[in-house]
Amino acid sequence: MDNCIFCKIAKREIPANKIYEDEDILAFHDIHPAAPVHFLLIPKLHVDSLADIDGSHHDLLGKMLVLTPKLAKEQGCSEGFRTIINTGRVGGQEVFHLHFH
């Protein structure tokens, strides 16, 4: 997606404060943190939102979810954390590239 800010971050066309990367997934700090620890986990593959997920994304989503507590603990969330996936305009989504907060 040409005009997608998170695709540009995934392609390193714009900078981000990265905390994790592999061939499928990238995690970086939110530019406007709403909590002491606030990072975003994205697939490198462009998917607009959770509403656009299908069976072909099964392994990718599983991998993202398994990574979530590992990264949260590494970032200092030893006592717990909240994971948010805003979906669609009505769901408060502003960046239309799937991401976990």
- Catalytic positions, written as ranges: 99
CB of 26 to Zn ion, least distance (A): 11
- DSSP label at 66? H
19 binds, among ligand 5GP, Zn ion, none (CB under 5 to 8 A by kind): none
How is residue 2 written in tokens? 């040409």
28 binds, among ligand 5GP, Zn ion, none (CB under 5 to 8 A by kind): ligand 5GP
Indicate the SS3 state at residue 56: helix
Nearer to Zn ion, 8 or 38 (CB): 8
Torsion of CA 81, 53, 60, 101, to 10 degrees: -20
